[in-house]
Amino acid sequence: MDNASAKNVPAANAKKELRALKWRQYKKNIRKTWVLYLFVLPALIYMLLFNYLPMYGVQIAFRDYKATQGIIGSKWVGFKHFKTFFESYQFGQLIKNTLALSFYSLIAGFPFPVIYALFLTYLDSNRLRRSSQMITYAPHFISTVVYVGMITLFLGREGVVNNLIAKLGASPVPFMGKGEWFRHIYVWSGILKSTGWNSIMYISVLATVPPELHEAAIVDGANKRQRMLYIDLPTLLPTMIILLILNTGQLLNVGFEKAFLLQNSVNLDYSEIISTYVYKIGILSSQFSYSAAIGLFNNVINFAVILFVNKMAAKYSEISLW
């Protein structure tokens, strides 16, 4: 054995002993905290069954799936369905509608929970604060179907809003009868429904701000606006960036139920988005492989976007998911 080989033997033995030591420590920790692992087990099983096991069916997007032949028995066609979607005359309109609705919802809706959390924090009346929270949290617990029914009841041609407009002497506005109104109705009704609930995260973060900081700022003559700007917002910033990254990762996953229920023949040019199209193609038309390809394309784009936004956030703010 030469000198180089002789020197490598002790190093290899040391690495082997280190791995064995780590494994013994790992088994010791499991024996010591096995109850905690038992608590985690149901969540792990749930994730395996409903998040990872269904990934087996992703290959449907690359096959001409027929239920009688099964997934493996169906013919492999590669990227045929992706190519069909990209060459479809609806491709551009679907992407445009989905992105327009997503960006509109993100830009318009993201600041409101922050503003509302700051508003509640600086309310002097505890009774008014509790009442405001109860009123704004309530819409979150209304089902989408019921909520869309309420929107239709209020904004229909004979709805509450148009009756009020008529009493004021103006002409009724066809809110539900004009395609241009769809995005505004979708986004602002969503903001009304979710602002109170989404503010909980920010309220809990603001509760961690040491009171001494505000007391010192007040002594120095800072007003509420200055305290918000220099104490509260820097505290909220990490949470805001993390939630922004997560929301951006769902850019193409616009809510299906609400968009589908608000759809009609008049606003279809504005309301047809990827999720509603996948439902119609996959469930109503039974084109399972084609709809699976569109869904897979949607998820790949979302994954790429969240990677990009996370990298940019880490580069410019040093705050990221990983």
Q: Judge if 301 and 171 occupy the same domain.
A: yes
- Classify residue 309 as exposed, middle or buried by CB count within 10 Å of its CB (0-12, 13-18, 19+): buried
Q: Judge if 236 and 293 occupy the same domain.
A: yes
Average pLDDT (40-55) is: 91
Residue 93 lies in a domain: yes
Residue 247 lies in a domain: yes
The residues, ordered by sequence, that sit 6+ positions from 137 with a Cβ below 8 Å of its Cβ are: 196, 197, 200
Q: Judge if 138 and 54 occupy the same domain.
A: no
Residue 67 lies in a domain: no
Q: Judge if 301 and 210 occupy the same domain.
A: yes
Domain that holds residue 10: 3-62
Residue 72 lies in a domain: no
Q: Judge if 188 and 106 occupy the same domain.
A: yes
Whichever domain contains 112, its CATH number is 1.10.3720.10
Report pLDDT for 5.
52
- The answer to whether the Cα torsion of 285, 290, 293, 294 is positive or negative is negative
Phi, psi of 119 (to 5 degrees): -60, -45
Residue 286 has pLDDT above 60, yes or no: yes
* Biggest distance spanned by C-alpha atoms of the chain: 103
Report pLDDT for 247.
85
Is the pLDDT higher at 317 or at 119? 119
| Chain segment 225-265, per-residue pLDDT in tens | 999 999 999 999 989 988 888 888 777 777 788 999 999 88
Report pLDDT for 319.
78
Report pLDDT for 252.
76
Report pLDDT for 27.
85
Average pLDDT (208-222) is: 90
Phi, psi of 267 (to 5 degrees): -100, 15
CB 65, CB 74: distance < 8 Å:
yes
Least confident range from 140-154, 183-197, 245-259, 288-302: namely 245-259
Q: Judge if 88 and 139 occupy the same domain.
A: yes
Q: Judge if 269 and 125 occupy the same domain.
A: yes
The proportion of the chain whose per-residue pLDDT surpasses 90, expressed as a percent, equals 43
Residue 68 lies in a domain: no
Hey, is 66 helix, strand or coil? Answer: strand
Calpha distance 165→139 (Å, rounded):
25
Residue 268 lies in a domain: yes
Report pLDDT for 168.
87
Report pLDDT for 3.
52
Residue 309 lies in a domain: yes
Q: What pTM was computed for the model? A: 0.81
Report pLDDT for 10.
66
4, amino acid identity:
A
Angle between helices 288-317 and 80-87 (to 10 degrees): 80
Q: Judge if 92 and 24 occupy the same domain.
A: no
- Classify residue 122 as exposed, middle or buried by CB count within 10 Å of its CB (0-12, 13-18, 19+): middle
Q: Judge if 8 and 119 occupy the same domain.
A: no
Report pLDDT for 169.
85
Calpha distance 4→172 (Å, rounded):
90
Residue 16, token pair as written in the block:
């082997």
Number of H helices, E strands in the chain: 17, 2
Residue 48 lies in a domain: yes
| Chain segment 118-133, per-residue pLDDT in tens | 999 888 888 999 999 9
Calpha distance 167→172 (Å, rounded):
10
Q: Judge if 20 and 50 occupy the same domain.
A: yes
What is the number of domains present in the chain?
Answer: 2
CB 84, CB 74: distance < 8 Å:
no
249, amino acid identity:
G
Q: Judge if 17 and 154 occupy the same domain.
A: no
Calpha distance 58→122 (Å, rounded):
50
Q: Judge if 154 and 268 occupy the same domain.
A: yes
CB 218, CB 122: distance < 8 Å:
no
Buried b / exposed e over 31-50, threshold 16 CB at 10 Å, is: eeeeeeeeeeeeeeeeeeee
The residues, ordered by sequence, that sit 6+ positions from 132 with a Cβ below 8 Å of its Cβ are: 120, 123
